[in-house]
Each structure stands twice: as C-alpha cells, then as structure tokens.
Structure 1
C-alpha cells in the first residue's frame, strides 16, 4: 500500500512538473510566433520608395531581436524559479515520506520494546503469587523482574531525554563526574543483567570530566546495550577508559559482531535509523540509542566515531575533555 501511494504521488508530481514546463515552452513559442507575425505585418506596411526604408527595416529587426531576448530572459527566469521550487518540493516530500516511515517503524519497535518487559515482569509476579516457590526461585524471578524494569527505565529515559534535547528544554546540569567509576559501575550492572555474556573492562582510575552524570550514564549504557544486541552471545564485549594526550578521556567499546557496513556508518547516528525492515528485524531497538549517544557526546563537548574491528565487529571511540585529577 505504501509503495502504491508513493508511486502515485511521484507520478502526479512529475506529470504536473512536465505539464508546467511544457506550458512554459508553449508560451515562449506562441510569443515568438506573435513577434515574428508583428515583424512581417510592420514590414509589409513599409514603402519601398521611402528614403528611410533601410533604417526602418533595421529598426524593425532590432525591435524583433530585443523582443526575442526579452522572451528568452523571462522564460529562463521562470524556468529556473520553477525548477528550484520543484526541487524544494520534491526534497520536502521525500523527507516527509521518509520521516513518516521512520516514525511508523519507531512506533512498531517501541510497542514491542514496551510490551516485552511489562509482560515478563507481570508473568514473574503472577508466578510468585500463584505458586509456592523456594527462596532461590523467588530471588531468581525477582532479579529477572528487576532487570526488565531497568531495561524499561533505560528505554523511557532514551525517549524522554531525546524529546528534551530536541525541544531545547534540557539544561545541562554539569558537575564533576568520575567517568572511570561510572564505566566500572555500568560494567558491573551489565554483568548482573546478562550473566551469560562476557564483559571485559580496562579502567584507568580517577578520570574526571565535566558533565551531567545521568546523561553520561545513559550514554555508556546505550553503547553497552548496543554491543549486547549485535554481538554474538559467546564473544566478549570489551570496554575501556584511559587518558589520551593528557587532555582527553578516551572511551572505547569493542564488540565482535557483524560490524557496520561502510554505506551505513554515516547514518547510524541519525534519529530512528535502523537498517532493514522493522517488521522482520531480529534485534530489538528503537533507533534512538546511537542518536542519543551522539547528542549527549556533543552536549559534553566530545566526539564519537565508529571504526571497524579486526577481523570483525565494531569499535565506538569517544573523547571528552578531562578535568584536573582529584586530590
């Protein structure tokens, strides 16, 4: 249905544009024909015995030539304006259609992302209410429920933070943040949330930056979550922090997943962008995580880059200006 609608809009657009250009060409041909007729009509009115006969012919030719130049100038002006307007309209329509598709994909993804943790948490709680469980079983269900609520919290934080940054309503509540400690805490939490995954960390101590702790925590969480989604289960996920050139905090997140195609490296930080069709996608996500990572990094005066890992996988590298070491 979408394709038929897009083809209909495209056909209508190009048909109308062709009609307008054709009308412009016909207008020029008609005016030029009228100019030629007026020239011959005035030429026939001249008398050959008039001593100014040659001067009047030259004047008529000059007037005809100036009229032709006027029509060409006006036609080219209208043509350029029409093409500029047509290009703007076409670009706007394509962007609107693309944005509508992205928003629809986002709604499908967000619906799935919200329903899953809610359904799991509800099932766990109903199981504890209806069945007599031993302490280990209850603890396991509670831990699973807590993990799902954290996932739900991250999801809602992504949506709310994105909305605030987009609207310009978010004011950065900057303070001194121990980025080393923040990364270490996030690695510990992910080891608890994903006990079957391997998280390796290399954390240089006491690297301080100026920023908002909640946003930086969300940034690290999103990058680790992204690695969990796309990296194969048995392979480890690696995260590190160190100083770089004595002026920057250098964060790295490395996975051994399929990597990111070169053609998509410039797109993955776009809002709602997810390669492929949302209805058939196996990995979960909303297309906000990496977009938000870039926005948070920029809000803190940092840089984020994506590189290929060898032999396979991806490396996300981030740089932030550091503060003087704490005494």
Structure 2
C-alpha cells in the first residue's frame, strides 16, 4: 500500500470517528444544558448539581476536541490546486481569534477561591501590534485556524494568573510575518523539534496532565506548507516562547 493510500485511509477513519462522536456528544451536551437550566425550579442536591455541571463541562471539552479533529483532517487532506485564496486583513482577524481564545479560556478557568488574594491581577490579555491595512493572500478559513491555534497554545501553556500574549505583524517586502509571544513555561529543548509531529504532546507542566490531541501545531505547519510559508519557534525554558509564521507576498 502506498503512502498516499495510507493517508487517504487514515483521513477517512478520522472523519468517521469524528462524526460518530458528534451525535452522542450533542445529546449529552443538550440534555445536560436543559437539566441545568431547570436548576432554579428543581431542588437538586449539591452533589447532583456538581455532577451535572461537570458532565456539561467535560462534554463541551470533548466537542472542542472533535471539532479540532475534523479541522485537522480537512487541512491535512487539502491540496494546493483549487484552494481558494484572497487578500485578508490581519488585524481584524487577529482580534476575532483573540476574542474567541480568551472566551474559551474563561470557560475552562478554575473559579477563584475565597482565600486567594483578590489584589492579584488575573485574566488573559492579548496585545496586538499590526498595521491597520496589512494583509496576506491566503485561504481565510485556514488562516483563522492557524492564528487561533497559536493563540490557544500561548494561553494554554501558561500557569500565571495574568497571561500576557503579544502578537506582532510586519511586512518584510517579500514576506509577511506574524509572531505570537507568550511569557509562560517555555518548551523543553527535547520537545522543540517534535512539536510539529502529529499526536505528539507536551505534558502540561503545572497539572501533569495532557490536554488535546497533539494536532494543533501540525495543523498550523500543514497550513503554512499549503501557502508556501514557514513557521519557526524560539523558546526559553521558564521565560516563554515566540512562534513566528511567514507568508510570501504574492
């Protein structure tokens, strides 16, 4: 069996698995939300309320993972030929992606405990330094996936109460660059060369757990390949990372 045939079979398998998971997840999430909406009318025990909230939360996380799997499959099977490209303004797209990433982070964030110091600044803040009219020629859907994933990663691998993410864009004449900088844990040297491999996961440094499929950065790399672009990373352990993507000027 050729490598191309293997890719095709794997892609079909991923699609089938994803669609098979979506139906039961939609039922789990729908019913748990419906029951939770009755909490004011029904007298649930503390245990029941907690259980329902956790079922709904984990169902939502699983739905996000399935959506990621479908997006990865769509990107990995895309071809240069026939891929629609257009001029896309970067700044509004980055703002949209940042807003979505922050919202998802807030939904998953742990509640503040009463004994914690309320004077400590908390939250996720994305600072954008990008010329208003700077644009790239790209497939808009894929570009959005690319930026969204870089921002989500910058937020996820940061255990600070206040998370600062800096996005900087520049026109270099023959290419347009977009850098995402975080001040989180950084990446271990042994992981840097492997983070673009499908299903490779870096341990979550502050919980010891692994989150996600290990598909986000390989998806970003594939999107850049489809646009004849590139991605690079500079990381200092304990100081954070800078991911830079480059698109050629067409």
Same fold, TM exceeding 0.5?
yes
C-alpha distance after superposition, 1:149-198 (max 9, x if no partner): 6x666534432233234445684221111122100111122333334632
- 2:46 matched residue in structure 1: none
Is contact 2:185–2:240 with CA below 8 Å preserved after alignment?
yes
Confirm whether residue 274 of structure 1 aligns to residue 201 of structure 2.
yes
Higher strand content, 1 or 2: 2
- 2:102 matched residue in structure 1: 191
- Size of the aligned set, in residue pairs, is 199
Distance 2:231 2:175 in 1: 13
Confirm whether residue 222 of structure 1 aligns to residue 131 of structure 2.
no
SS in 2 for 1:125: helix
C-alpha distance after superposition, 1:66-98 (max 9, x if no partner): xxxxxxxxxxxxxxxxxxxxxxxxxxxxxxxxx
Residues 249 and 232 of structure 1: is their aligned pair in 2 closer, same or farther, counting only changes over 3 Å? same
- 2:235 matched residue in structure 1: 308
- 1:52 matched residue in structure 2: none
C-alpha distance after superposition, 1:39-78 (max 9, x if no partner): xxxxxxxxxxxxxxxxxxxxxxxxxxxxxxxxxxxxxxxx
Distance 2:165 2:137 in 1: 24
Candidates 160, 182, 206, aligned match of 2:70:
160
SS in 1 for 2:123: coil
Larger Rg: 1
Is contact 2:187–2:236 with CA below 8 Å preserved after alignment?
no
Is contact 1:223–1:253 with CA below 8 Å preserved after alignment?
yes
Candidates 169, 173, 176, aligned match of 1:246:
173
Q: TM-score, normalised by structure 2?
A: 0.65
Residues 308 and 117 of structure 1: is their aligned pair in 2 closer, same or farther, counting only changes over 3 Å? farther
Higher helix content, 1 or 2: 1
Structure 2 residue runs of 5 or longer lacking an equivalent are: 1-16, 43-55, 107-121
Q: TM-score, normalised by structure 1?
A: 0.51
Residues 122 and 256 of structure 1: is their aligned pair in 2 closer, same or farther, counting only changes over 3 Å? farther
